[in-house]
Each structure stands twice: as C-alpha cells, then as structure tokens.
Amino acid sequence: MRHILLTLTLLLAAPYALAESTAAPSSEVHVYKSPYCGCCGNWVEYMRKQGFTVTVEEKEDMSPIKQSLNVPDEMQSCHTSTIGGYVIEGHVPAEDIRRLLKEKPDAIGLAAPGMPQTSPGMDVAGSTEAYDVLLFKADGSTQIFAHHKP
C-alpha cells in the first residue's frame, strides 16, 4: 500500500516539478549607471515597459563595477546590468535578453558596444545605424548573438 501511495505522490508532483523547470526566466534587472547619464535612464524605462523589474544603483565611477563583472574593455558601454547570472552591457534589446535567459549559453553576458544610435534607450531620430549584440565569454571570445537593423 505504501508503494502505491508513494507512486501516486510522485505522479501528482511531476507536473509541478516540470512547471518549475520551465518557468519564465528571471525578470529582475539590476542596473549600475552614472547619475548623469540620460540614455541609461531611457533604457531603464524601456526595460520596465518590456515587463522587467528594474532596480537602479547609481555610481560615480563605473570602472570598478565593469571590472568586477569581467566586462572586456572593448565591450564597455555607458551602463552595466545583471540578470539571471548574466551581465548585460549597454543598450541591449529586451528580446535578446529573453533569448539569453532561455538558451542559457556558457557566457558572461551580452553587450551592445559603442552605444548604437538605434538601440533601445538611444533612439536617435533619423538614424539608420545597424548594430550587433555580442555574446562575450570568460575565455575572452565573442560571437554575434543578434543583428539589429533600424
């Protein structure tokens, strides 16, 4: 009888275990930014509109944050964020962050280096700049994660 009860318990619990493993990825973003940067604030608002919960920590000097999170010099942008164990550097679109959290690649994070004018939060009117979002890894390698056209 105990064997039957144990089997029934496991069968009833299985859907809940599956639901936990396929649950939506974290939507909590922690943003480090300069108190003087307007485009960073624009990206924060964009992320909130995309359904993310965003906390902001203003720093006078961003260099120690970028260094501690292993953001390579060539990937650096105006603000640095963390979400789900990854680093997001700069104006990365929400769709790329969702994909990152879903696919869970072995990487430090994503970057939109150089503050592209057509990226979320920059939104420079009339700009036709295409840009790449790069996946950067602990071994120093990078690869194109997404390409964006205006």
Q: How does the average pLDDT of the chain come out, rounded? A: 86
- Domain holding 125, by residue range, is 25-148
Read off the pLDDT of each residue in 42-66 and give the average, rounded to a whole number: 97
Count of structural domains within the chain: 1
Q: Is 109 within 8 Å of 137 (Cβ atoms)?
A: no
pLDDT at residue 2 tops 80: no
β-strand partners of 109: 87, 136
Q: Is 58 within 8 Å of 35 (Cβ atoms)?
A: yes
Better-scored residue on pLDDT, 49 or 8? 49
Confidence of residue 26 (pLDDT cuts 50, 70, 90): confident
Per the domain annotation, does 6 fall within a domain?
no
Per the domain annotation, does 16 fall within a domain?
no
Q: CATH code at 142?
A: 3.40.30
Distance (Å, rounded) from C-alpha 132 to C-alpha 63? 23
Q: How many CB atoms lie within 10 A of CB 39?
A: 20
pLDDT at residue 3 tops 90: no
Q: What is the rounded radius of gyration, in angstroms, for the C-alpha atoms of the chain?
A: 19
pLDDT at residue 9 tops 90: no
Per the domain annotation, does 10 fall within a domain?
no
Per the domain annotation, does 11 fall within a domain?
no
Per the domain annotation, does 19 fall within a domain?
no
